[in-house]
Homo-oligomer: A and B are copies of this chain.
Amino acid sequence: MTGQVRTVDGRVAGRRGQATRQKLLDCLSEMLSSSPYRDVKVIDVARKAGTSPATFYQYFPDVEGAVLEIAEQMATEGAGLTELLEGRSWAGKSGWQTAQELVDGFLEFWRKNDAILRVVDLGAAEGDKRFYKLRMKILNSVNNSLADSIAELQAKGRVDKDVNPAAVAGSLVAMLAAVAAHQKGFSTWGVKQAELKPNLALLVHLGVTGKKPSK
């Protein structure tokens, strides 16, 4: 499926090659966490990995290319977010729990990968299709599940006809992503992490079901 890992000039990478390649990715990832995207230089990544810039260019066309690689790895991991919604109910107390767990899991995932997700977000916002698709891939699992839930409730007549499930789901997911990205921001806004979560869950619940949760 994934095919073999190849260098820029077409060679297949062996065991050692893959190791240094991965090391470069790890170092880049670390670098992204500690300094602004704009200031991340190939030479710094190479130095940190104990190798030379030339080696970096053997495996990646540029910094952007390497970031895409990292993001791709994360995206497959992120598919696990579907579990947060699979087979869950939105009725009654269990609905409130579903919302809470979704918020919890989502924020946690974002917190773990915030550095790369920032860059993916930027790339997508700038209109780069590769980043755009990647962002979709990450969010689609949650988004589709949410949209399905809403559509289902709508079919049962428990949600208004003129609600567009995809639009609402997309907006809620965007909200979760944005809040996750600016979590630190809220704290200086006078909102503590612990307070934030239930309020987010409330908004999600309201959005999906159109009703306040029964706790």
Q: Which residues in A have some Cβ–Cβ distance to B below 8 Å? A: 36-38, 63-64, 114, 118, 121-128, 132, 135-136, 143, 160, 162-164, 166-168, 170-172, 174-175, 177-179, 181-182, 184-186, 188-191, 195-196, 198-200, 202-203, 206-207, 210, 212
Contacts and interface: CB of A to CB of B under 8 A. Distances in A.
B171 A179 contact: yes
A185 B49 CA distance: 36
A143 B185 CA distance: 13
Contacts of A126: 36-37, 118
B162 A198 contact: yes
A172 B135 CA distance: 21
24 contacts: A36-B128, A37-B122, A37-B126, A122-B122, A124-B185, A135-B185, A136-B188, A164-B191, A164-B196, A166-B189, A166-B191, A167-B186, A167-B200, A170-B179, A171-B175, A171-B179, A172-B203, A174-B178, A174-B179, A175-B178, A177-B178, A203-B206, A206-B210, A210-B212
